A and B are shown apart, each in its own frame.
Chain A
Amino acid sequence: QQQVKQSPQSLIVQKGGISIINCAYENTAFDYFPWYQQFPGKGPALLIAIRPDVSEKKEGRFTISFNKSAKQFSLHIMDSQPGDSATYFCAASIRNTGKLIFGQGTTLQVKP
């Protein structure tokens, strides 16, 4: 069964702190690992993504760390800001299909 497990379900961080969200997958047929950010009442939007041949990708304050052997990947948000408060979803794309399997989501609250 193709699954992506995400933790924690919810996260509270102080402004300026580091937010870390973890995901683990079971299927080796995944070939692309995006993170989506969703604000209340809106559709998800791509935040950052990584391919399995890369161990880390950084875009501004957002970094994906990828461990292929452990089948785990994580999102780090440095210097977290109240505007980062949202729900974050990790996902994995099934090779050659474009279909995404999503994690359960993490609700992040950054306190001022």
Chain B
Amino acid sequence: NAGVTQTPKFQVLKTGQSMTLQCAQDMNHNSMYWYRQDPGMGLRLIYYSASEGTTDKGEVPNGYNVSRLNKREFSLRLESAAPSQTSVYFCATLAGGHHYNEQFFGPGTRLTVL
């Protein structure tokens, strides 16, 4: 089992370019999350999806869109990248909806916007 996979691992964009970060899981988990990690700020939730077909905003959703394509895949799109979106992006999954369960994180995508 691969767990949670993310592509690409690294990406450099110019301001104004668009891109989609991909996340896939083979753990059959219902809920999926996108976080960004910045130095000194911990991880902040961008968007999440409690189940296939539903998405909701987190703490820092501005400048991002998401798609829960099916139970396995949850993508994050930057329509017009800005230098402030330079960060490490993590996808995570949670089993069984909203209970006392562990979130499993992918390896991250390191994004630089010039």
Contact = CB atoms under 8 A, between A and B. Distances in A.
A32 B94 CA distance: 14
A6 interface: yes
A46 B102 contact: yes
A49 interface: yes
Interface residues of B, number: 29
A102 to B, nearest CB: 4
Contact of B100 (A41, A42, A45, A51): A51
A31 B48 CA distance: 19
B107 A42 contact: yes
Contacts of A34: 102-103
Interface string A20-64: 000000000001101010000111111001010000000000000
B45 A99 contact: yes
B42 A98 contact: no
B98 A96 contact: yes
Given A44-B105, A97-B98, A102 B44 contact: yes
Interface in A61-112: 89, 93, 96-105
A9 interface: yes
A100 B40 contact: no
Contact of B108 (A43, A45, A96, A99): A43
Nearest to B99: A98
B97 A104 contact: no
Interface of B: 4, 31, 33, 35, 40-45, 48, 50, 58-59, 90, 92, 94, 97-108
Interface of A: 4, 6, 9, 31-32, 34, 36, 41-46, 49, 51, 89, 93, 96-105
